[in-house]
Chain A
Amino acid sequence: MTDPERLETIMSRYEGVAADLIPVLQDIQDDCNYLPKDALKIVAGRLNVPLTQVYSVATFYKGFSLEPRGVHHVQVCRGTTCHLHGGTRLQEGVIRRLGIEPGQTTPDGQFSLEQVKCVGKCGAAPVLAVGEDYFGEVGVDGVTKILRTYRKPK
């Protein structure tokens, strides 16, 4: 469920025309970490855009997620240089340790995983990011240590 007040704050930044659809959805995604269904309905009404159009946009772009993302969003770089420096193996190592595939969130809601293209830190390939923190030259055996620092202590 979306907090109506926060949705109002977002809507108030825009004129309320069809071209605002993507920026509005981006703000909601940033605010909630995903696009809640009820919010999509409200947005469709307010921007006067068919709900089908809202869904087609929300599912076309990888930056949107219809499911809540994890507290820590893990990104594995799949750029060209990282690929040449063992990016595939790194990704497999992360998948195995988190137990989820790219696009999914762990059942406890702590981690979600995404593969991204070059994050511009090719000099340190292969690169892994957790939230805003970047880690370079990550070996498969380094993944556990990195993830451990983000896990909530029980």
Chain B
Amino acid sequence: MSKIEFPLVTRNLGAIDPESLEAYAAVGGYASLKRALTEMTSEAVLEAVDKSGLRGRGGGGFPTGRKWRFCREAPGEQKFIICNGSEGDPGAFLDRAVMEGDPHAIVEGMALGAYAIGAGQGFIYVGHEYPLAATRLRQAITAAREQGFLGEKILGTPFSFDIQVRRGAGAYVCGEETALINFIQGNIGEPRNRPPYPPQKGLWGQPTIINNVETWANVPVIINKGAEWFAAIGTKDSKGTKVFSVAGRVKKPGIVEVPMGTPLRQVIFDLGGGIKKDREFKAVITSGPGGGVLPKQFLDIPVEFESFQAAGGNLGSGSMVVMDDGCCMVDVARYFLEFSHEESCGKCTPCREGTKQLLKILTEITKGNGTEEDLGLMEELCATMAAASLCGLGQSAVNPVLSTLKYFREEYEAHVREKKCPALVCRPLLKYTVDPETCTGCLACLRECQVGAITGDVEEPQEIDQELCVKCGMCHAVCKFDAVKVES
């Protein structure tokens, strides 16, 4: 392991058998829960989490201790806690790794949280795409119940608490906390207006706390090592570590965990191994459809909530998708808008119609039908959506558009003015030709061409009919001799 890495949340991944409670206990697992229940008051547990400076890892970065206190103090017949394992960002896989690789850490964290706020029932919401994570968590819960870490009168104390796993049914918006509550209640995953916030009125109208997988997995560490120890890691306002899933055009994609404050460059170049084929770094998109792109002038910012926000990025879900000079920023913005448009639940107009219009404009730009006015129009639309959308989906769907417009405006201008895609990605703006010198006439391209645009005899150079060509790039993809050339 590299010196930069600092595994707290990921400490057990790959190191212990995730299906064995004994293995988790052998590395100190459930010691925090035992200690809390026997030596600490519930207030002391809350105090420790509060003092540690832990902030939510699911997007907003809200102070966890403060959220818990609201819930603890809110009146209610019963209280609930939820673990958000939706991980809907299409570039993130860190929560999945923790759920699959160390499920007991989540169970223990939730039991500690339940003790702190006085909850009797917890739910773990697991994304639809993660069946193995759901299975592992269910196994962990059963084992914990058998060993007396969950259920009635835990470890012989008056504290009772249990957890149910709920598998997602395929809706990104269910990662949003009020939509998630609707899901667990058996309804469609539509968000609702806040306030009231879940710590006041959550599941079945009762006080509820919702925290992200990584947030929960930090809790046993804080109780075990102490708030001061934890608060000594990281920066002034971002304590502890952050887990990232690093992917895209990097040599070593994977999961890394570093102290808050580590320079972004180290995460991408030292841990991520740098850019594939040593091409040029262009930007990193953080937090997917709700995040922004950070171009190379931000490579030296520290990873923490504040500096990311100031740069127009978002630490958010912890995904980093790295892009090189072969990635088109207009196409990336279009990709995320397509995602957000498909996933918009349709309840509020700014998000439903806004994502639709943005997607339409971006699609036209990638086809060479955009105008300079479109760029200004998109900025206006984004401002309305950010201000008027009901939930974070619509409010943050604008981030990929605004950040690419801000940092890569010249790339948009090349699309609208010159009708060119400099990164050679946007199909309608490309031109494919066959280099007669290198073409061997193997006919691989001819067989792949859908529209019969390629003609030529076997072992003779092929030719592409520009009138018929739909620029799908299949010929380029299948040519083993690099004889198909592409330009814009």
Q: Which residues of A are at the interface with B, using a C-beta cutoff of 8 A?
A: 18-23, 25-26, 49, 53, 56-57, 60-64, 78-81, 83-84, 86, 89, 92-93, 96, 116-120, 122-123, 125, 139-141
Contact = CB atoms under 8 A, between A and B. Distances in A.
Given A92-B472, A96-B450, A140-B477, A21 B186 contact: yes
B478 interface: yes
Nearest to A61: B169
A80 B91 contact: yes
B185 interface: yes
A83 B326 CA distance: 12
Given A89-B473, A118-B90, A83 B128 contact: no
B274 interface: no
Contacts of B472: 89, 92
Nearest to B92: A118
B473 A22 contact: no
Interface of B: 88-93, 96-97, 128-129, 166-172, 183-189, 245, 247-249, 253-254, 285, 288, 319, 321, 323, 327, 332, 335, 339, 345, 444, 448, 450, 472-474, 477-478
Given A81-B321, A116-B129, A19 B184 contact: yes
A80 B321 contact: yes
Contact of A22 (B183, B247, B323, B448): B183
Contacts of A119: 129
A109 B184 CA distance: 33
Given A60-B188, A64-B169, A123-B254, 16 more contacts: A19-B186, A22-B186, A23-B167, A57-B186, A62-B169, A63-B128, A78-B90, A80-B90, A83-B335, A86-B477, A117-B339, A118-B91, A119-B129, A120-B96, A123-B247, A141-B448
Contact of B169 (A22, A117, A141): A22
B120 to A, nearest CB: 16
A7 B488 CA distance: 58
Nearest to A86: B477
B186 A122 contact: no
A140 B288 contact: no
Contacts of B167: 23, 26
A120 B448 CA distance: 29
Nearest to B323: A84
Contacts of B474: 89, 92-93, 140
A81 B285 CA distance: 11
Instruction: Across the A-B interface, give the 9 residue pairs with the lowest CB-CB distance, nearest first.
Output: A62-B170, A61-B169, A117-B90, A63-B170, A122-B247, A120-B93, A80-B91, A21-B186, A63-B169
A64 B170 CA distance: 8
A83 B339 CA distance: 12
Contact of A118 (B93, B166, B323): B93
Contacts of B186: 18-22, 49, 57
Nearest to B336: A80
Given A60-B188, A89-B473, A120-B96, A81 B247 contact: yes
B249 A62 contact: no
Contacts of B172: 117
A93 B447 CA distance: 13
B477 A84 contact: no
A104 to B, nearest CB: 17
12 contacts: A18-B185, A22-B186, A57-B187, A60-B171, A60-B345, A80-B91, A80-B288, A84-B327, A84-B332, A117-B172, A118-B92, A120-B96
Contacts of A92: 472, 474
A122 B93 contact: yes
Nearest to B171: A61
Contact of B253 (A93, A96, A123): A123
A81 B248 contact: yes
A152 to B, nearest CB: 25
A61 B477 contact: no
A60 B129 contact: no
A56 B188 contact: yes
Nearest to A62: B170
Contacts of B448: 140-141
Contacts of B285: 80
Contacts of B332: 84
B93 A139 contact: no
Contacts of A79: 90-91
A83 B186 CA distance: 33
A64 B167 CA distance: 12
